Amino acid sequence: MLRTLFRIQSAVACAGAIALGGCAKTPVIVTPVENTPITPGPWKLTWSDEFDGPSGALVDPTKWVTETGGAGWGNQERQYYTTSASNASLDGSGRLVITARAEPANSQLACWYGVCKYTSARLKTQGRFEQAMGKFEARIRVPRGQGLWPAFWMLGNDIDRVGWPKSGEIDIMENIGKEPNMVHGTLHGPGYSGGSAVGGAYTLAGAAFADDYHLFTVEWSPGEIRWLVDDKEYRRTATSNLPSGGTWVFDHAFFMLLNVAVGGGWPGDPDATTTFPQQMLVDYVRVYQR
């Protein structure tokens, strides 16, 4: 989702087009693979947010930065990201709630297409917490409905210096409302961003992801990244899997992002079946190293 660049792209699958001006086409769906042994040794917690606090409290500013704006974020998104507790706050029961809301017709917020129709929130740990490699996970219940686009993802901490996609992007989880039982995991980097991004999808049998909480994880080691849903590996990408000419840029620290976008080239806009408000509930975010 865009920061200062605003390049409008066509249909997509990337929080990183969300991020900085480029969107990936829908990743190829892959069949979940059997879990395989991971590097020996216990994981050690290095950072977490359990979202403990009173109902209505804002997120901890020592852990999160709240981004704002309605310029489309590289994907023709319809929401304006705010700092309001009505869009991101604690629920008093150990959860972060990111709420996408419909705005009244007389809203004073300006978006790229005119008066903003929706508000939401986008949080990042940039400058607060950044780590190279390890295990990054969040237990999340996504919103539902056409045009909703929740994501849990990461960007390289050198993005302000080298730009996107040279910084690298790891999309841990993206879901779009028209695919209620599917989530996507994607990598973006030099030579494999936008339409050539490397990714896969996980399909939930017999249920929608919005029906319950699920654990979304990446395990990131030198030269390899694995994606898991509820501890089941479904995608693995290594340096040897990159397209010809692609450069592996996942050897430095990244920061995390949580957001709910509304509309855009990939999910499409909300329609008559979409109801608001819609909420993404985050039970916790935890990071580990060996």
Catalytic residues: 169, 174
DSSP string, the chain: --SS-----SS---HHHHHHS--PPPPPP-PPPPP-PPPSS--EEEEEE---S-TTPPPPTTT-EEE-B-S-TTTT--EEE---TTTEEE-SSS-EEEEEEEPPTT---EETTEE--EEE-EEE-TTT--BSSEEEEEEEE---STTEEEEEEEEETTHHHH-TTTT-EEEEEE--TT-TTEEEEEEE-TTS-GGG-EEEEEE-TTS-GGGS-EEEEEEEETTEEEEEETTEEEEEEEGGGSPTT-----SS-EEEEEEEEE--TTT----TT--S-EEEEEEEEEEEE-
Residue written as token pair 């039970």: 283
Q: How many CA atoms lie within 13 A of 271 on its CB side?
A: 6
Enter the tokens of residue 13.
Answer: 């699958």
On the 0-12 / 13-18 / 19+ scale of CB atoms within 10 A, 277 is: middle
What type of residue is 74?
Answer: G
